[in-house]
Structure 1
Protein backbone atom coordinates (compact mmCIF):
# COMPACT_ATOMS: atom_id res chain seq x y z
CA UNK A 1 0.00 0.00 0.00
CA UNK A 2 2.75 2.46 0.92
CA UNK A 3 6.18 2.58 -0.60
CA UNK A 4 9.36 4.33 0.31
CA UNK A 5 9.65 7.60 -1.55
CA UNK A 6 12.23 10.35 -1.78
CA UNK A 7 10.43 12.23 0.97
CA UNK A 8 12.14 9.91 3.50
CA UNK A 9 15.59 10.38 2.00
CA UNK A 10 17.72 12.93 3.84
CA UNK A 11 18.89 14.55 0.58
CA UNK A 12 15.95 16.01 -1.38
CA UNK A 13 16.70 19.61 -2.30
CA UNK A 14 14.29 19.55 -5.27
CA UNK A 15 11.16 21.67 -5.37
CA UNK A 16 9.34 18.98 -7.35
CA UNK A 17 9.46 16.68 -4.31
CA UNK A 18 7.23 18.99 -2.21
CA UNK A 19 3.82 18.00 -3.68
CA UNK A 20 4.58 14.25 -3.49
CA UNK A 21 3.36 13.61 0.09
CA UNK A 22 -0.24 14.38 -0.85
CA UNK A 23 -0.33 12.10 -3.89
CA UNK A 24 -0.13 8.71 -2.10
CA UNK A 25 -2.53 9.83 0.64
CA UNK A 26 -5.36 11.04 -1.61
CA UNK A 27 -6.37 7.70 -3.16
CA UNK A 28 -6.07 5.86 0.16
CA UNK A 29 -8.17 8.35 2.11
CA UNK A 30 -10.88 8.92 -0.50
CA UNK A 31 -11.44 5.23 -1.18
CA UNK A 32 -11.56 4.02 2.43
CA UNK A 33 -14.41 4.83 4.78
CA UNK A 34 -13.63 7.30 7.52
CA UNK A 35 -13.02 5.80 10.96
CA UNK A 36 -15.80 6.20 13.50
CA UNK A 37 -15.59 9.45 15.42
CA UNK A 38 -13.46 11.07 12.73
CA UNK A 39 -14.21 14.56 11.44
CA UNK A 40 -12.99 13.54 8.00
CA UNK A 41 -15.39 14.17 5.11
CA UNK A 42 -15.03 12.25 1.87
CA UNK A 43 -16.02 15.20 -0.31
CA UNK A 44 -15.10 18.83 -0.05
CA UNK A 45 -17.82 20.95 1.58
CA UNK A 46 -19.71 23.21 -0.77
CA UNK A 47 -18.67 26.78 -0.18
CA UNK A 48 -21.44 29.33 -0.52
CA UNK A 49 -20.50 31.81 -3.24
CA UNK A 50 -20.44 35.48 -2.31
CA UNK A 51 -23.41 37.66 -3.18
CA UNK A 52 -23.56 39.02 -6.72
CA UNK A 53 -23.38 42.80 -6.59
CA UNK A 54 -24.96 45.15 -9.09
CA UNK A 55 -23.02 48.40 -8.74
CA UNK A 56 -24.57 51.84 -8.42
CA UNK A 57 -23.74 52.80 -12.03
CA UNK A 58 -25.46 49.71 -13.44
CA UNK A 59 -28.94 49.89 -14.99
CA UNK A 60 -30.58 46.52 -15.72
CA UNK A 61 -33.72 46.07 -17.79
CA UNK A 62 -35.12 42.56 -17.50
CA UNK A 63 -35.82 39.85 -14.97
CA UNK A 64 -33.18 38.16 -12.80
CA UNK A 65 -33.37 34.77 -11.12
CA UNK A 66 -30.81 33.00 -8.92
CA UNK A 67 -30.67 30.55 -6.05
CA UNK A 68 -27.86 32.65 -4.58
CA UNK A 69 -27.65 36.10 -3.04
CA UNK A 70 -27.88 39.45 -4.80
CA UNK A 71 -26.95 42.91 -3.58
CA UNK A 72 -28.39 45.69 -5.73
CA UNK A 73 -26.88 49.17 -5.62
CA UNK A 74 -28.04 50.31 -9.07
CA UNK A 75 -31.35 50.37 -10.92
CA UNK A 76 -33.37 47.34 -12.01
CA UNK A 77 -36.48 47.49 -14.17
CA UNK A 78 -37.83 43.96 -13.90
CA UNK A 79 -38.53 41.19 -11.45
CA UNK A 80 -35.88 39.72 -9.16
CA UNK A 81 -35.91 36.29 -7.54
CA UNK A 82 -33.11 35.27 -5.16
CA UNK A 83 -32.31 33.60 -1.86
CA UNK A 84 -31.12 36.74 -0.07
CA UNK A 85 -31.81 40.08 -1.72
CA UNK A 86 -30.27 43.25 -0.33
CA UNK A 87 -31.40 46.55 -1.80
CA UNK A 88 -28.78 49.24 -1.20
CA UNK A 89 -29.59 52.83 -0.24
CA UNK A 90 -28.86 54.11 -3.75
CA UNK A 91 -30.82 51.31 -5.46
CA UNK A 92 -34.17 51.50 -7.22
CA UNK A 93 -36.19 48.43 -8.20
CA UNK A 94 -39.25 48.71 -10.44
CA UNK A 95 -40.82 45.27 -10.45
CA UNK A 96 -41.68 42.34 -8.23
CA UNK A 97 -39.15 41.11 -5.69
CA UNK A 98 -39.28 37.51 -4.45
CA UNK A 99 -36.70 36.17 -1.98
CA UNK A 100 -36.37 34.12 1.17
CA UNK A 101 -34.81 37.13 2.90
CA UNK A 102 -35.32 40.70 1.68
CA UNK A 103 -33.44 43.63 3.23
CA UNK A 104 -34.57 46.96 1.82
CA UNK A 105 -32.41 50.03 2.30
CA UNK A 106 -33.38 51.75 -0.97
CA UNK A 107 -36.47 52.12 -3.17
CA UNK A 108 -38.85 49.50 -4.54
CA UNK A 109 -41.85 50.24 -6.73
CA UNK A 110 -43.73 46.96 -6.93
CA UNK A 111 -44.72 43.92 -4.92
CA UNK A 112 -42.37 42.37 -2.35
CA UNK A 113 -42.67 38.67 -1.44
CA UNK A 114 -40.43 37.19 1.22
CA UNK A 115 -40.24 34.82 4.14
CA UNK A 116 -38.40 37.53 6.08
CA UNK A 117 -38.78 41.13 4.95
CA UNK A 118 -36.92 43.99 6.60
CA UNK A 119 -37.41 47.67 5.84
CA UNK A 120 -34.59 49.75 7.28
CA UNK A 121 -34.93 53.42 8.18
CA UNK A 122 -33.85 54.46 4.64
CA UNK A 123 -36.31 52.14 2.83
CA UNK A 124 -38.90 53.50 0.39
CA UNK A 125 -41.50 50.94 -0.74
CA UNK A 126 -44.47 51.68 -2.99
CA UNK A 127 -46.38 48.43 -3.34
CA UNK A 128 -47.74 45.47 -1.45
CA UNK A 129 -45.65 43.33 0.88
CA UNK A 130 -46.50 39.67 1.31
CA UNK A 131 -44.42 38.09 4.06
CA UNK A 132 -44.11 35.44 6.72
CA UNK A 133 -42.27 37.79 9.10
CA UNK A 134 -41.68 41.51 8.72
CA UNK A 135 -39.67 44.22 10.46
CA UNK A 136 -40.12 47.91 9.72
CA UNK A 137 -37.66 50.32 11.28
CA UNK A 138 -38.63 53.81 12.35
CA UNK A 139 -38.20 56.23 9.45
CA UNK A 140 -39.04 53.74 6.68
CA UNK A 141 -41.51 54.98 4.08
CA UNK A 142 -44.14 52.48 2.99
CA UNK A 143 -47.24 52.90 0.82
CA UNK A 144 -49.26 49.77 0.17
CA UNK A 145 -50.74 46.81 1.96
CA UNK A 146 -49.11 44.21 4.16
CA UNK A 147 -50.31 40.63 4.14
CA UNK A 148 -48.97 37.69 6.13
CA UNK A 149 -48.88 34.29 4.44
CA UNK A 150 -47.37 30.97 5.49
CA UNK A 151 -45.93 30.55 1.96
CA UNK A 152 -45.39 34.05 0.57
CA UNK A 153 -42.97 32.86 -2.13
CA UNK A 154 -45.73 31.03 -4.00
CA UNK A 155 -47.76 33.69 -5.89
CA UNK A 156 -50.83 31.42 -6.15
CA UNK A 157 -50.89 30.47 -2.47
CA UNK A 158 -53.66 31.74 -0.28
CA UNK A 159 -53.84 31.24 3.46
CA UNK A 160 -56.29 28.37 4.02
CA UNK A 161 -59.05 29.09 6.49
CA UNK A 162 -58.03 27.99 9.95
CA UNK A 163 -59.81 24.83 11.11
CA UNK A 164 -60.01 26.37 14.61
CA UNK A 165 -62.05 29.29 13.30
CA UNK A 166 -65.18 27.18 12.66
CA UNK A 167 -65.02 24.17 14.98
CA UNK A 168 -68.68 23.23 14.34
CA UNK A 169 -68.54 23.31 10.54
Structure 2
Protein backbone atom coordinates (compact mmCIF):
# COMPACT_ATOMS: atom_id res chain seq x y z
CA UNK A 1 0.00 0.00 0.00
CA UNK A 2 2.73 2.48 0.95
CA UNK A 3 5.98 2.48 -0.89
CA UNK A 4 9.33 4.23 -0.78
CA UNK A 5 9.50 4.21 -4.57
CA UNK A 6 10.77 7.43 -6.13
CA UNK A 7 8.08 7.24 -8.81
CA UNK A 8 5.43 8.52 -6.43
CA UNK A 9 7.59 11.27 -4.92
CA UNK A 10 6.96 14.86 -5.97
CA UNK A 11 9.52 16.09 -8.45
CA UNK A 12 10.26 12.63 -9.88
CA UNK A 13 11.98 12.74 -13.24
CA UNK A 14 9.80 12.00 -16.30
CA UNK A 15 12.31 9.34 -17.42
CA UNK A 16 11.67 7.20 -14.35
CA UNK A 17 7.86 7.35 -14.62
CA UNK A 18 6.67 6.03 -17.95
CA UNK A 19 3.14 7.06 -18.91
CA UNK A 20 0.66 4.23 -19.28
CA UNK A 21 -0.95 5.99 -22.25
CA UNK A 22 1.34 6.52 -25.29
CA UNK A 23 -0.75 9.57 -26.24
CA UNK A 24 0.26 11.21 -22.96
CA UNK A 25 3.90 11.18 -24.08
CA UNK A 26 3.08 13.54 -26.97
CA UNK A 27 3.36 17.32 -26.59
CA UNK A 28 0.39 18.93 -24.84
CA UNK A 29 -0.77 21.05 -27.75
CA UNK A 30 -0.05 20.80 -31.44
CA UNK A 31 -0.70 23.87 -33.58
CA UNK A 32 -4.00 23.54 -35.44
CA UNK A 33 -4.28 24.28 -39.12
CA UNK A 34 -6.11 27.52 -39.99
CA UNK A 35 -9.86 27.02 -39.73
CA UNK A 36 -9.43 23.79 -37.78
CA UNK A 37 -10.33 23.34 -34.14
CA UNK A 38 -8.65 20.55 -32.24
CA UNK A 39 -9.91 19.44 -28.88
CA UNK A 40 -7.50 17.72 -26.51
CA UNK A 41 -10.26 16.16 -24.39
CA UNK A 42 -9.68 12.56 -23.46
CA UNK A 43 -11.33 10.28 -26.03
CA UNK A 44 -12.77 8.06 -23.27
CA UNK A 45 -14.92 10.88 -21.90
CA UNK A 46 -18.19 11.55 -23.75
CA UNK A 47 -18.39 14.87 -25.57
CA UNK A 48 -20.45 17.54 -23.88
CA UNK A 49 -23.62 18.44 -25.72
CA UNK A 50 -23.24 21.87 -27.30
CA UNK A 51 -25.76 24.51 -26.28
CA UNK A 52 -28.73 25.32 -28.51
CA UNK A 53 -28.28 27.90 -31.25
CA UNK A 54 -30.50 30.83 -30.37
CA UNK A 55 -31.94 33.06 -33.09
CA UNK A 56 -32.84 36.29 -31.30
CA UNK A 57 -36.15 38.15 -31.54
CA UNK A 58 -34.74 40.88 -33.80
CA UNK A 59 -33.40 38.36 -36.34
CA UNK A 60 -35.25 37.69 -39.61
CA UNK A 61 -33.94 34.81 -41.74
CA UNK A 62 -35.00 34.04 -45.30
CA UNK A 63 -33.62 30.60 -46.14
CA UNK A 64 -33.41 27.05 -44.90
CA UNK A 65 -31.73 25.98 -41.67
CA UNK A 66 -30.19 22.54 -41.14
CA UNK A 67 -28.33 21.23 -38.10
CA UNK A 68 -27.87 18.04 -36.12
CA UNK A 69 -28.02 20.14 -32.95
CA UNK A 70 -30.67 22.17 -31.18
CA UNK A 71 -32.20 25.46 -32.32
CA UNK A 72 -34.24 27.94 -30.32
CA UNK A 73 -36.04 30.49 -32.48
CA UNK A 74 -37.19 33.79 -31.05
CA UNK A 75 -37.30 35.75 -34.33
CA UNK A 76 -38.73 35.05 -37.80
CA UNK A 77 -37.67 32.33 -40.23
CA UNK A 78 -39.03 32.05 -43.77
CA UNK A 79 -37.78 28.68 -44.92
CA UNK A 80 -37.54 25.04 -43.93
CA UNK A 81 -35.86 23.95 -40.70
CA UNK A 82 -34.27 20.60 -39.87
CA UNK A 83 -32.82 20.04 -36.40
CA UNK A 84 -32.56 17.61 -33.51
CA UNK A 85 -34.57 19.77 -31.08
CA UNK A 86 -36.47 22.80 -32.30
CA UNK A 87 -38.01 25.25 -29.85
CA UNK A 88 -40.17 28.02 -31.29
CA UNK A 89 -40.41 30.90 -28.80
CA UNK A 90 -43.65 32.72 -27.95
CA UNK A 91 -42.93 35.70 -30.17
CA UNK A 92 -41.36 33.65 -32.99
CA UNK A 93 -42.80 32.88 -36.43
CA UNK A 94 -41.72 30.10 -38.78
CA UNK A 95 -43.07 29.97 -42.33
CA UNK A 96 -41.98 26.68 -43.85
CA UNK A 97 -41.66 22.98 -43.11
CA UNK A 98 -40.21 21.91 -39.76
CA UNK A 99 -38.53 18.52 -39.35
CA UNK A 100 -37.00 17.60 -35.97
CA UNK A 101 -36.77 14.77 -33.50
CA UNK A 102 -38.38 16.99 -30.86
CA UNK A 103 -40.51 20.05 -31.66
CA UNK A 104 -41.76 22.41 -28.95
CA UNK A 105 -44.01 25.17 -30.26
CA UNK A 106 -44.70 28.20 -28.09
CA UNK A 107 -45.09 30.61 -31.02
CA UNK A 108 -46.38 30.42 -34.59
CA UNK A 109 -45.67 27.95 -37.39
CA UNK A 110 -47.22 28.25 -40.84
CA UNK A 111 -46.36 25.02 -42.63
CA UNK A 112 -45.99 21.30 -42.07
CA UNK A 113 -44.49 19.97 -38.83
CA UNK A 114 -42.77 16.56 -38.81
CA UNK A 115 -41.39 15.21 -35.55
CA UNK A 116 -40.96 12.18 -33.36
CA UNK A 117 -42.26 14.19 -30.39
CA UNK A 118 -44.34 17.30 -31.07
CA UNK A 119 -45.59 19.53 -28.27
CA UNK A 120 -47.90 22.50 -28.74
CA UNK A 121 -48.00 24.66 -25.63
CA UNK A 122 -50.95 26.86 -24.66
CA UNK A 123 -49.46 29.81 -26.59
CA UNK A 124 -48.83 27.83 -29.82
CA UNK A 125 -50.41 28.71 -33.18
CA UNK A 126 -49.90 26.12 -35.92
CA UNK A 127 -51.41 26.44 -39.39
CA UNK A 128 -50.48 23.27 -41.22
CA UNK A 129 -50.37 19.51 -40.95
CA UNK A 130 -48.58 17.72 -38.13
CA UNK A 131 -47.00 14.32 -38.74
CA UNK A 132 -45.74 12.79 -35.50
CA UNK A 133 -44.96 9.70 -33.51
CA UNK A 134 -46.18 11.25 -30.25
CA UNK A 135 -48.01 14.54 -29.76
CA UNK A 136 -49.11 16.72 -26.86
CA UNK A 137 -51.44 19.67 -27.31
CA UNK A 138 -52.05 21.87 -24.30
CA UNK A 139 -55.34 23.58 -23.63
CA UNK A 140 -55.41 26.98 -25.34
CA UNK A 141 -53.19 26.00 -28.29
CA UNK A 142 -54.51 27.08 -31.70
CA UNK A 143 -54.19 24.47 -34.44
CA UNK A 144 -55.58 24.39 -37.98
CA UNK A 145 -54.66 21.37 -40.05
CA UNK A 146 -54.59 17.61 -39.89
CA UNK A 147 -52.76 15.33 -37.50
CA UNK A 148 -51.28 12.05 -38.67
CA UNK A 149 -49.37 9.50 -36.62
CA UNK A 150 -46.47 7.63 -38.25
CA UNK A 151 -43.81 5.35 -36.81
CA UNK A 152 -41.14 7.27 -38.77
CA UNK A 153 -42.45 10.79 -39.35
CA UNK A 154 -39.03 12.22 -40.24
CA UNK A 155 -38.93 10.59 -43.65
CA UNK A 156 -41.32 12.01 -46.26
CA UNK A 157 -44.00 9.58 -47.45
CA UNK A 158 -42.92 10.08 -51.06
CA UNK A 159 -39.36 8.91 -50.42
CA UNK A 160 -40.57 5.60 -49.00
CA UNK A 161 -42.14 4.82 -52.36
CA UNK A 162 -38.94 5.76 -54.19
CA UNK A 163 -36.87 3.56 -51.89
CA UNK A 164 -38.88 0.44 -52.80
CA UNK A 165 -36.82 -2.02 -54.83
CA UNK A 166 -37.47 -2.09 -58.54
CA UNK A 167 -38.85 -5.33 -60.03
CA UNK A 168 -36.13 -7.65 -61.25
CA UNK A 169 -36.48 -9.22 -64.68
CA UNK A 170 -35.69 -12.91 -64.74
CA UNK A 171 -33.96 -14.56 -67.67
TM-score (norm 2): 0.71
Structure 1 regions of 5+ residues with no counterpart? 10-19, 33-40, 160-169
Give the Cα–Cα distance (whole angstroms) in 1 for the partners of residues 47 and 95 of structure 2: 34
Give the Cα–Cα distance (whole angstroms) in 2 for the partners of residues 139 and 47 of structure 1: 36
Structure 2 regions of 5+ residues with no counterpart? 24-41, 161-171
Q: Give the length in aligned residue pairs.
A: 137
Partner of 1:12: none
Partner of 1:87: 88
Give the Cα–Cα distance (whole angstroms) in 1 for the partners of residues 54 and 43 of structure 2: 33
Q: Could you tell me which of 1, 6, 11 is aligned with 1:8?
A: 11
Give the Cα–Cα distance (whole angstroms) in 2 for the partners of residues 142 and 158 of structure 1: 27
Give the Cα–Cα distance (whole angstroms) in 2 for the partners of residues 157 and 133 of structure 1: 21
1:2-151 → structure 2 map (5 Å cutoff): 7-8=10-11, 28-31=19-22, 43-151=44-152
TM-score (norm 1): 0.72
- How large is the Cα RMSD of the aligned pairs? 3.0
How far off is 1:7 after superposition? 4.1
